[in-house]
């Protein structure tokens, strides 16, 4: 009960009391330097995520962080188990990183505004044509030097077996030539989803794999990479869990 109250208070403070005026500062900074605005937004979100994981009692064991490049964008691909995936992983991204998020997030005041400043892309899963436009937008962001995070399962899975990966999630990398960086999360749903509405301390593990180059692959090779990435994340999950 106490952890839930602390997390809610933290979210209230950072997104309402601090977040709204800070958003105005970011908008002003963006008039002169969009790049600086992106960096400041990223740091703010990292602070928010760090506060949430700390107050939740989440103990994070991270490995492979040295595989995350600091000088070029990548398409992050991961499994998806919990809301806490975002709070856990986002702290370790080393460059400006947006994500592909379901369109429902766009309805949340303040949070959605920060997501837009991070160049997050909102996906309407009921509209296949809109989905294609989202992938094209992801590819554009990668070409412009911004990393993108996609969970190709499409929804949270609490099974030990990953859901099938949507092939379209990988097209942004194939179209832009940016490498794919797979990573795996375990036990994030132990913090919240397994005992909603309570927040409980848990030990969470995250592992980042080396980037996989996908530039100039033919269609057959692209399909092989998609299968390889799912097998890699599944094998790593089985090992870590």
Question: What are the residues whose beta carbons fall under 8 Å from the beta carbon of 126, sequence distance 6 or more?
Answer: none
pLDDT in tens, 20-70: 999 999 999 999 999 999 999 999 999 999 999 999 999 999 999 999 999
In a domain, 199, yes or no: yes
Residue 11 has pLDDT above 90, yes or no: yes
In a domain, 72, yes or no: yes
In a domain, 8, yes or no: no
Residue 164 has pLDDT above 80, yes or no: yes
DSSP 162: P
Tell me the CATH number at 231. 3.40.1130.10
Q: Could you tell me if residue 75 is left (phi over 0), alpha (psi between -120 and 50 degrees) or otherwise beta?
A: beta
Count of domains forming the chain = 1
pLDDT score recorded for residue 154? 86
Mean pLDDT of the chain: 93
In a domain, 134, yes or no: yes
pTM for the predicted model, two decimal places: 0.94
Longest CA span, the chain: 53
Give me the sign of the Cα torsion angle 102, 103, 104, 108.
positive
DSSP 62: E
Angle at alpha carbon of residue 110, lines to 114 and 112, rounded to 5°: 55
In a domain, 49, yes or no: no
In a domain, 32, yes or no: no
Q: What range does the domain containing 175 cover?
A: 59-240
In a domain, 82, yes or no: yes
Residue 129 has pLDDT above 80, yes or no: no
pLDDT score recorded for residue 125? 75
Distance CA 172, CA 72 (A): 15
In a domain, 103, yes or no: yes
Q: How confident is the model at residue 241 (pLDDT cuts 50, 70, 90)?
A: confident
Q: Which residue has the higher pLDDT, 75 or 155?
A: 75
pLDDT in tens, 99-112: 999 888 988 889 99
pLDDT score recorded for residue 153? 93
């Amino acid at each position: 009960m106490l952890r839930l109250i602390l997390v809610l208070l933290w979210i209230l403070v950072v997104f309402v009391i601090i977040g709204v005026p800070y958003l105005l500062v970011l908008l002003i900074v963006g008039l002169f330097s969009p790049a600086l605005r992106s960096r400041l937004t990223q740091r703010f979100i990292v602070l928010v995520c760090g506060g949430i994981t700390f107050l939740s009692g989440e103990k994070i064991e991270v490995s492979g962080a040295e595989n995350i490049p600091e000088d070029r964008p990548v398409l992050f691909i991961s499994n998806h188990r919990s809301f806490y995936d975002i709070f856990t992983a986002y702290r370790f991204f080393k460059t400006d990183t947006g994500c592909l998020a379901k369109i429902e997030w766009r309805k949340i005041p303040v949070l959605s505004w920060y997501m837009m400043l991070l160049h997050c892309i909102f996906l309407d899963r009921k509209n296949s044509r809109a989905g294609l436009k989202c992938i094209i937008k992801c590819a554009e962001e990668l070409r412009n030097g911004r990393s993108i995070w996609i969970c190709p399962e499409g929804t949270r899975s609490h099974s030990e077996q990953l859901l099938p990966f949507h092939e379209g999630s990988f097209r942004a990398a194939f179209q832009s030539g940016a490498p794919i960086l797979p990573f795996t999360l375990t036990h994030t749903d132990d913090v919240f989803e397994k005992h909603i509405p309570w927040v409980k301390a848990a030990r969470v593990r995250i592992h980042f794999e080396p980037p996989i180059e996908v530039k100039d692959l033919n269609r057959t090779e692209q399909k092989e990479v998609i299968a390889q990435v799912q097998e890699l994340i599944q094998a790593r999950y089985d090992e870590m869990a």
